Structure 1
């Protein structure tokens, strides 16, 4: 049952990610991986909120936790895409943009996770 739950959630997360990728590309272009940056930051924030909620509330079933975190968020956020985007920027000769992308992705995503923790802790 766990595999089915993760499968369904992953499909939903990946579908949202694809929509964001298309929308951001239309609006901002493809010269910088804006969509992946946005997805990594928002995914980390949402994961922080969810993890803190699950830890402090403790009333969510394991199936719902699997569906949301491993499924939806797992399909939505992929740091493998982050790595590919960084390598493509580097290979294209945009070393400064690649470095900026790595710095922003890592620092703001981790800050987002801690922000999610802080928000839920303040509500508990």
Structure 2
């Protein structure tokens, strides 16, 4: 199932935009400078909570910046994607996608086996 979170319906040439980009997991739409692209967590990543994200997306997408189950990418004021200082590469924040309950169970199993 494909979900469009942000469609550029009124793109003005006199405003800076971060370009459309694929980060390896998600195709991120062009985003106005100084704003954040918000998109659902990928359904195919083990340990991400996709049920929660779809529920939150469908009800709150117009009113939130960040919420568990939604990932985001920062478009800086100069119209470039945020570059992570450690990797020196553009970065999407998927930390809000992690299902911590699942992670805790997985870590418990891993720690008890070794």
TM-score by length of 1: 0.27
Q: Which has the higher contact order (CA 8 A, sep 6+)?
A: 1
TM-score by length of 2: 0.28
